Copies of this chain bind each other. A is one copy, B any other.
Amino acid sequence: MKNKVSPKIMSGFMELLPAEQIVFDKMKQIIEQTYQTYGFVSLDTPVMELSEVLLAKAGGETEKQIYRFQKGDADISLRFDLTVPLARYVAAHQNDLAFPFRRCQISKSYRGERPQRGRLREFYQADIDIIGSEKLSVLADAELPSIIYQTLKNLGLDRFMIRLNNRKVLKGFYEALGLADKQVDILRLIDKIDKIGVQNVMEGLKDLGLDEKACAQIKGLIEIQGSSNEVICALKELGVQNDLYIQGVDELEKVAQAMINLGTPESHFKIDLTIARGLDYYTGTVYETNVIGHEEWGSICSGGRYENLAENYTDRKYPGVGMSIGLSRLFDFLRGANMLRIGAVTPADVLIVPMANDTRYALKVATMLRNAGVKTEVYFADTKFKNKMTYANKIKVPYVLILGEDEEKNTAVSLKNMVTGDQQTVVLGDLIPVMEEAVLARPPEKPVFQKA
Contact = CB atoms under 8 A, between A and B. Distances in A.
Interface of A: 1-2, 4-10, 13-18, 21-22, 24-25, 36-50, 52-53, 56, 67, 69-72, 74, 76, 87-89, 91-93, 96-100, 102-103, 108, 110, 112, 122, 132, 135-137, 139-140, 143, 150, 258, 261-263, 310-315, 345-348, 351, 359-360, 363-364, 366-367, 370, 373, 375-378, 380-382, 391, 394-395, 397
B41 A345 contact: yes
A37 B382 contact: no
A258 B100 contact: no
Contact of A21 (B42, B110, B136, B366): B42
Contacts of A41: 18, 21-22, 345-347
A123 to B, nearest CB: 11
A92 B7 CA distance: 5
26 contacts: A4-B314, A4-B315, A5-B313, A7-B314, A8-B92, A9-B49, A10-B46, A10-B74, A15-B45, A16-B44, A17-B96, A21-B44, A25-B44, A38-B370, A39-B346, A39-B348, A39-B351, A39-B376, A40-B347, A42-B347, A47-B108, A48-B67, A67-B71, A98-B345, A102-B377, A150-B370
Contacts of A98: 345, 391, 394-395
Contacts of A99: 391
Contact of A312 (B4, B76, B382): B4
Contact of A112 (B72, B348, B380): B72
B359 A8 contact: no
A83 to B, nearest CB: 14
A363 B18 contact: no
Contacts of A110: 47-48
A10 to B, nearest CB: 6
A449 B311 CA distance: 41
Contact of A25 (B42, B87, B102, B143): B42
A366 B262 contact: yes
A102 B382 CA distance: 17
B377 A8 contact: no
Nearest to A140: B380
Given A38-B377, A346-B39, A7 B46 contact: no
A334 B45 CA distance: 20
A110 to B, nearest CB: 8
A93 B366 CA distance: 29
Closest 6 CB pairs of A and B: A39-B377, A69-B69, A39-B348, A7-B91, A7-B313, A137-B380
Contacts of A347: 36, 39-42
Contact of A359 (B21, B103, B139, B366): B139
Contacts of A15: 44-46, 89, 92
A67 B102 CA distance: 33
Contacts of A360: 261
A351 B39 CA distance: 9
A47 to B, nearest CB: 6
Nearest to A13: B46
A87 B221 CA distance: 58
A422 to B, nearest CB: 22
A284 to B, nearest CB: 15
A24 B44 contact: yes
Contacts of A16: 44
A52 B346 CA distance: 31
Contacts of A39: 346-348, 351, 375-377, 397
A39 B41 CA distance: 29
A38 B52 CA distance: 45
Given A2-B311, A7-B313, A76-B10, A37 B376 contact: yes
A359 B261 contact: yes
Given A102-B346, A376-B37, A380-B100, A363 B258 contact: yes
